[in-house]
Structures are given as structure tokens and as C-alpha cells.
Structure 1
């Protein structure tokens, strides 16, 4: 393996473990409900078909998830102005608040982990790495 390939594999491994640690220890659910709410926050209102495709589930499965979330007040279906037969799935204020609370809980867990394991110099190193990782993440937007 080349140096770049070794670095890529190390990053893949540690970022995956980091994400799993946050999911396991932060007091937030990692289930269809939470993932659907987060997806809608990232994309904005979308059709059920696009939501199912984006989440990698069947249309029928997504309809069931949406029906449950709508009945609990997390999202709502609004007529699609481009397709009068269809609907767009929108987050409600309750759904937006839930996403904000989940993000806050995850950030608090990460902050506690940083404070418990890193000195200021190490935290500065991590801070410097954020824009570099962002540059890679932004490739997905292109």
C-alpha cells in the first residue's frame, strides 16, 4: 500500500469507530426515526420516493416510517406543487427541535470525551484538522 492508501485506510477505520462511539454513548437514538428526521433536515422537503431512495429503503417501508412520524407530530405531508398527486415530506417545528436536541447531545458527549482525553495542544491539532476533513467531505457536494 502507498502512504496515501495507508492514511486513507487509517482515517476510514478511526472515523468509523468515532461515529460508532458517539452513536453508542450519546443519549440519542440511531434508528429509522432519527435517521429520517436528520435526512430531511439536510435535504429539505422531498417526496416519499426520494426519501426512500436517499435512506436506502423501499417505498413501502418509508411510507410506514413517515406515517408513524407524522402521527407523532415530527413531520407533515404537504401537497407537491409540481405533482398534485404527490406529497412532499416536511419537518415540523417538533422535528427540527428533535434534531437540534440530538445534535446538542452528541456534541456534549464529544466535548466531554475531548476534555477527558486531550490536552490543549492536542485539541488545537484536532481543530486544525477540521478544515482538512471538511475539504474531503465537500467532495460529496460536487
Structure 2
């Protein structure tokens, strides 16, 4: 009986490269700047944030995030409201139009992935992909846990 193949550094490098290429291929189909899509995603997933918190999440300067939030507001996709925990602060939230846009973007991206998988992959390869999200979620948790231990 064949033993399962081990996962080594070369495999980790290929996985990192493949994930990066896949993400870039999916992003290329978007007409909205990726920074705006990412901010909308944070707001949709986790609720309201301060501009400073959004800047930390995206790893950009506060000034840059203020511009991004201003652009989203001008498009009617986000709005600012007073922060009840900080009288001087504001929280950025999604509008209904912002929620619709991020939902549409997620559906469009997922549809592209499904269509590509159906046209390029065998049924067995698609079965592997069907299990991949759960495996990648576990990997993400381990990577985040490792990053938290190093920062302590």
C-alpha cells in the first residue's frame, strides 16, 4: 500500500504561489479597486470599524484609509456615524448599497471560480476543491496562531 506523500517546503512554496496567482486572477475581474472591495468585505463580515482600525486591518496609513472611506461614502456604499464609545470618534458602516455591492462581488467571484473549475478540472479535481476550503481554513487558523505567538 502506498504511503501518503509528505508535505515539504517545496510544496509549501508551490501552494503559496498558486494561492497568490489564483487570488490575482480573481481580482483582475473586478472594476472596483481592491482596497475598496476589501474594506467593504471587512464591514460586511465584522460590522462597523473606526478609520484607524480599518487602516490597521489593511496595513495602510490612516490618511490612505480616510481617502478610501471618503470614496466609498461618495459612492453611497458606506457612511460614518458617531462612535458611542468615543465622543470624538466615528465608525464606518455599510449602507444597503454597499451590502448589495459586496454581495454581488462575492457572487461574481464565486461564479467565476465555479465556471473555471467546471471547464478546466476533472470531476476528481473538483472533488479535491470541494474539500479545500475547510483545509485552507484550518491552515489559516494555524498561521494566525503562529503569528500571534511570535508577536508576544
The TM-score by the shorter chain falls in which range? 0.7 to 0.9
1:47 aligns with 2:50: yes
Q: Which residue does 1:4 correspond to in 2? A: 8
Q: Which residue does 1:121 correspond to in 2? A: 124
Q: TM-score when scaled to structure 2?
A: 0.82
Please list the CA deviations of residues 39-80 of structure 1 after superposition, one character each: whole Å capped at 9, or x if unmatched: 222332111111112112221221122122112211111111
Which stretch has the larger CA shift, 78-87 or 118-127? 118-127
Following the alignment from structure 1 to structure 2, what is the Cα–Cα distance between the partners of residues 116 and 76?
40
Q: Superposed, which structure 2 residues align to 1:44-123 within 5 Å?
A: 44-123=47-126
Q: Is this contact kept in 2: 1:28–1:105, CA < 8 A?
A: no
Q: Which residue does 1:18 correspond to in 2? A: 22
List alignment gaps of at least 5 residues for structure 2.
1-5, 146-152
Following the alignment from structure 1 to structure 2, what is the Cα–Cα distance between the partners of residues 28 and 68?
14
Q: TM-score when scaled to structure 1?
A: 0.87
Aligned length: 140
Following the alignment from structure 2 to structure 1, what is the Cα–Cα distance between the partners of residues 69 and 133?
34
Q: Is this contact kept in 2: 1:33–1:69, CA < 8 A?
A: yes
Following the alignment from structure 1 to structure 2, what is the Cα–Cα distance between the partners of residues 130 and 73?
32
- Aligned CA-pair RMSD: 1.9
Shift of 1:27: 4.3
Q: Is this contact kept in 2: 1:27–1:105, CA < 8 A?
A: no
Shift of 1:128: 2.7
List alignment gaps of at least 5 residues for structure 1.
none
Shift of 1:140: 5.3
- Tell me the SS of whatever aligns to 2:89: strand
